[in-house]
Structure 1
Amino acid sequence: MYHTWMRYFTPGPVHHRLGLVCLGVGLQHGALPPVGPRTLDHHVAVVISAGSGWYRTPDGRRQQLTAPALLWLTPGVPHHYGAAPGNGWDESFVDFTGSAVAAYTELGYIEPDRPVVPLTDTTGPRGIITRIARAARCGNPLLEVETSAAVHELLVALRRARAGSGPDTDPVLQALARDAFLPLSVAQHAARHGMTPAALRTIVRRGAGCSPKDYLLGIRLGRAKELLAATELPVAAVARRVGYDDPAYFSRLFARRVGTAPVRFRERQGRTVPGGFSDRIPDPGHPPVIGPCSSA
């Protein structure tokens, strides 16, 4: 005995320009019949919240699948899977496609070579899939845009729920973020952690989806923007605050990555705002807390 509910959508050309579109959503539980063998032309994220089952690889190997887990179905790759006999399992799925899939794959959010991914928890992903299911009500004029936005959120939630490699729990990434403003090279950062630059690249690529250089640069430039927008520190002082002893090099790097020079960025931000709530340098670790509005 099993229960199933699903809806499928056909987004128009303009919706596809959003980068990701949702093609379908489903919620199922119980002793579900096996799926496949079949091949699809789009991606599907299958979230297994309870129970166990199996997945047969394209080369015929049978792989055990135990909740909580994620099953990636990718375009052009034959797949065959099913719940274990007896009580079966609890699954939810989202079909999606779009031009942004390539970037999410390059960043490591989608793993074509790793179809079965253990998860730490499915609460976050299941909540987003439930929102997609609610948006699928008949006559919803926001359906395509609402579900498109949710697919982006789902990929982030699945990445965060991946067992053993959460970006918020990796001590190396945390240490890099803490030390990002020190004037150190990638090789020097690696040495501080007792590893080779290649090993550091592997860890950062797995955890953040980019190279150590880009990871550090993103943190440094984000902080530089805050200082330029919220303070009157000279550009040279801003450069030193974020780890660059050479202000000319910092300015060239900033302009190349941001698209405008630091001085021009500051002018565009209009940093002097009458009635602002603070004139202190912003602290990234302690954002302001904005409470509920009170009536007069």
Structure 2
Amino acid sequence: MYQTWMRFFTPGPAHHRLGLVCLGVGLQYGALPTVGPRTLDHHVAVVVSAGGGWYLAPDGTRTTVTAPALLWLTPGVPHHYGAGPDGGWDEGFVVFSGPAVATYTELGYIEPDRPVVPLSDATGARGVIGRIARAARRGNPLLEVETGAAVHELLVALRRARADLAPGGDPVLKALARDACLPMSVAEHAARHGMTPAELRTAVRRGAGCSPKDYLLGIRLGRAKELLAATELPVAAVARRVGYDDPAYFSRLFTRRVGMPPVRFRAQQYRTVPGGWSDQVPDPDDPPMIEAPPAPESLP
């Protein structure tokens, strides 16, 4: 026996321009029927949170699926899979499409060449699928936007849950982030980790979806923006703080990547904050609050 529930949607052209649209969601468990062989026109993420089964690739390669796991069903690629005979499996699936799919694929969040992805934990992804299912109630006026936004969140949750990534984050990426503002080349960063530049490129591409140069640059520019917005340091001093000895080069790089020169960014974003800015991330469970002024005393 098995149980299944699913809903399908038809977002309009304006919703597609948001980048991603959710076309369907489903929750199923038990000894589910075998799927395929078939070919789809859209992407589907199938999250298996309990049980196990198998996946058969177009070349005949059979892969055992053991929960927690993700099945990527890619448009135009035949697929054939099924839950195991001993109790089946528990799955949630999301059908999606949109122009942002190409970018998520480029960044490594979607892996068309890796149809079966072991996960360390399916809890986060299943939570997002549950929210999509709740948003799918009849008559929800926010349906398309709410579910489309959740697809972005789902891709992040699945990326974070990949079993081949350390739960606490990649130590190489952590070290690069720590040392990003040191005046070091990519080759020097690689040597510090006992890696060749090519090995570092592979590690960063796998972990962050970009090159080491872009990863370091993003951190440097983020720090430069904070210094420009929160301090009165000259631009040359800001450049040195984030690893650039040549302030003219820094200004050209900042302008090209940010879209405006550092002095204009400062003019727009500078804030005088009594007591200074904090570099501590607020605790979501205990956010900073502005104390309300005392209520005026009532007249007798």
Q: Which runs of 5+ in 2 are unaligned?
A: 295-300
SS at match of 2:138: coil
Superposed CA deviations along residues 102-151 of structure 1, whole A, max 9, x for unmatched, are 00000000000000000000110000000000000000000000000000
Residue 86 of structure 1, CA deviation? 2.1
Q: Counterpart in 1 of 2:297? A: none
Distance 1:55 1:293 in 2: 54
Distance 2:239 2:289 in 1: 37
Q: Which runs of 5+ in 1 are unaligned?
A: none
Q: Counterpart in 2 of 1:165? A: 165
Work out whether 1:287 is the aligned partner of 2:281: yes
Q: Counterpart in 2 of 1:182? A: 182
| Length, aligned pairs only | 290
Q: Counterpart in 2 of 1:32? A: 32
Residue 169 of structure 1, CA deviation? 1.8
Distance 2:49 2:144 in 1: 26
Residue 270 of structure 1, CA deviation? 3.7
**Contact persistence 2:69–2:119 (CA under 8 A):** yes
Distance 1:109 1:251 in 2: 32
Q: Which amino acid in structure 1 is aligned with residue 169 of structure 2?
A: T
Work out whether 1:128 is the aligned partner of 2:128: yes
Residue 268 of structure 1, CA deviation? 1.0
Residue 278 of structure 1, CA deviation? 3.2
SS at match of 2:51: strand
Distance 1:168 1:20 in 2: 28
Distance 2:270 2:171 in 1: 37
State the percentage of identical aligned residues.
79
Residue 168 of structure 1, CA deviation? 4.5
Question: Structure 1: which 4+ aligned runs deviate by more than 6 Å?
Answer: none
Q: Counterpart in 2 of 1:156? A: 156
Paired residues for 1:1-296 under 5 Å: 1-166=1-166, 168-272=168-272, 276=273, 278-280=275-277, 282-283=278-279, 286-288=280-282, 290-292=287-289, 296=294
SS at match of 2:5: strand
SS at match of 2:132: helix
SS at match of 1:244: coil
Distance 2:7 2:281 in 1: 41
Residue 167 of structure 1, CA deviation? 7.9
Residue 3 of structure 1, CA deviation? 0.3
Residue 291 of structure 1, CA deviation? 3.4
Distance 1:292 1:230 in 2: 20
Superposed CA deviations along residues 13-32 of structure 1, whole A, max 9, x for unmatched, are 11111110000000000000
**Contact persistence 1:183–1:244 (CA under 8 A):** yes
Superposed CA deviations along residues 226-269 of structure 1, whole A, max 9, x for unmatched, are 00001100001100111111111100100010010000110011
SS at match of 2:141: coil
Residue 292 of structure 1, CA deviation? 5.0
Residue 287 of structure 1, CA deviation? 2.9
Distance 1:67 1:41 in 2: 26
SS at match of 2:47: strand
Distance 2:269 2:12 in 1: 37
Superposed CA deviations along residues 174-198 of structure 1, whole A, max 9, x for unmatched, are 1000000100000000000111000
Distance 2:282 2:13 in 1: 41
Q: Which amino acid in structure 2 is aligned with residue 79 of structure 1?
A: H
TM-score normalised to the size of structure 1? 0.95
Residue 60 of structure 1, CA deviation? 1.3
- Aligned-residue RMSD, C-alpha: 1.3
SS at match of 2:11: coil
SS at match of 2:195: coil
SS at match of 1:29: strand
**Contact persistence 2:282–2:288 (CA under 8 A):** no
Residue 277 of structure 1, CA deviation? 5.2
Q: 1:293 to 1:269 in 2, by over 3 A?
A: closer
Superposed CA deviations along residues 185-216 of structure 1, whole A, max 9, x for unmatched, are 00000000111000000000000000000000
Distance 1:122 1:40 in 2: 24
